[in-house]
Amino acid sequence: MAWNWQLPDWPNFQYEASAIAPYEERFLLSSGEIIGAVQHVNQSERDQLRIELLSDEAMQTSAIEGEMLDRQSVQSSLRRHLGLAPDSYPSKPREQGVAEMMVDVYSSYAEPLTHETLFRWHEMLMSHDRRLETIGAYRQHADAMQIVSGRYDRPTVHFEAPPSDRVSDEMTRFVEWFNGTAPGAAVPLTALTRAALSHLYFESIHPFEDGNGRLGRALAEKALAQNIGQPSMIALSFTIERERKAYYAQLEQHQTTLDVTSWLEWFAATVLAAQKVTLERVGFYIAKAHFYDQHRDSLNERQAKVIARLFRAGPDGFEGGLSAENYISITGTSRATATRDLQDLVGLGALTRTGERRYTRYWLDLVE
């Protein structure tokens, strides 16, 4: 079996542009919706929205690779790198690195891609990992770069990348292609097509010892941001992580062919789903602002603490809803006081109630 980079026409990917056109139109419409919706959020909430979206992306782009991060540490690092008021939570090296890379991708989206950009991102991402021979530079080892699974003595090879001695030339061609297909360049490509191709192209070269998946998704984010003229702020990695098995299957399937129409369709649908998630997040923050406008002066200290905790849980809230036991645990109050506080919150219209007795649960009552 030949890999895509071994085929005679590499890297001339073939696809049906007409199949992607409807996705491209929907992407631009949704991008406008997100930009318009964000304008309804005040600056403080907008900063927190950035923190939430970027931390979700940082967490999930690592989770796709099987790496779990400390969310509070990621958010603390993001606040520092974005120049926002820092908190007291310690910043750990792994979380510090991915947060620094995410902010760099976010803030430098308009700049042309260079080898140095990729080296900088790789060093930020992998500086904590002393197992690697090469950090901040393309791989140089003589061993084959393979994606494998299964038993050590009987591995399944899902993909083999070009040998290391080809990587420098391949990446020079990739960087020229990426910049040459940007808006206003010689051969501009539409947003979703360029982002999908850049991700598959980069992953097929697999130029670094480790971190290629995270860098490849960052490149897709950069491509989307350049095409809409501002950071995309979409939950791409968050959405891919939900479809991780399909994501890897799509990559594997399209690393043996240059006909990539179905890859573009899958990737485009994923981006549109990611935009929907982002719109839901923005709507949540607008609803949060309205909630506090209505209820801020009516909450006692215990109630305010629990409401803040519910908002920190995000649009999905507590799994299974807020219980009286949750309230007692968060506030340290008595059951009688918790019951009275919760009844007051329902009466105020701040919470809704479902269930009875021990199955009683409470939910934020939000109107966007």
Only one residue has tokens 């050590």, namely 152
For the record, the structure tokens of 6 come out as 């071994």
What is the CATH topology of the domain spanning 4-284? Fic-like fold (1.10.3290)
For the record, the structure tokens of 55 come out as 């931390």
**Is this model's pTM higher than 0.95 or not?**
no
Beta bridge partners of 282: none
Per-residue pLDDT, 48: 81
CA 49, CA 45: separation in Å to the nearest integer?
A: 6
Q: What is the CATH number of domain 299-364?
A: 1.10.10.10
Beta bridge partners of 354: 361
CA 216, CA 58: separation in Å to the nearest integer?
A: 13
CB 53 within 8 Å of CB 235: yes
Pairing of the two strands 361-364 and 351-354: antiparallel
Per-residue pLDDT, 313: 84
Per-residue pLDDT, 92: 84
Per-residue pLDDT, 84: 86
Only one residue has tokens 């979700």, namely 56
Contacts of 212 (CB under 8 A, 6+ apart): 202, 203, 206
Strands of the chain, DSSP E: 146-150, 155-160, 351-354, 361-364
Per-residue pLDDT, 157: 85
Only one residue has tokens 């009516």, namely 298
CA 142, CA 59: separation in Å to the nearest integer?
A: 32
Mean pLDDT by 10 residues, the chain (368 residues): 94 97 96 87 82 88 90 90 81 88 94 98 88 90 82 82 96 98 97 98 96 95 95 89 94 97 98 94 86 93 95 83 95 96 96 93 86
Q: Which residue from 154, 100, 155 is spatially nearest to 125, judged by alpha carbons?
A: 100
- Mutual orientation of helices 43-63 and 71-81 as an angle, nearest 10°? 130
Beta bridge partners of 147: 159
Domain range annotation of the chain: 4-284, 299-364
Q: Which amino acid is at 148?
A: V
Per-residue pLDDT, 255: 96
Per-residue pLDDT, 132: 83
CA 119, CA 138: separation in Å to the nearest integer?
A: 8
In the chain, what's the furthest Cα-to-Cα distance?
A: 75
Per-residue pLDDT, 368: 57
What are the residue ranges of helices labelled H in 109-163?
115-126
Euclidean distance between the first and the last CA atom of the chain, given in angstroms as a whole number? 54
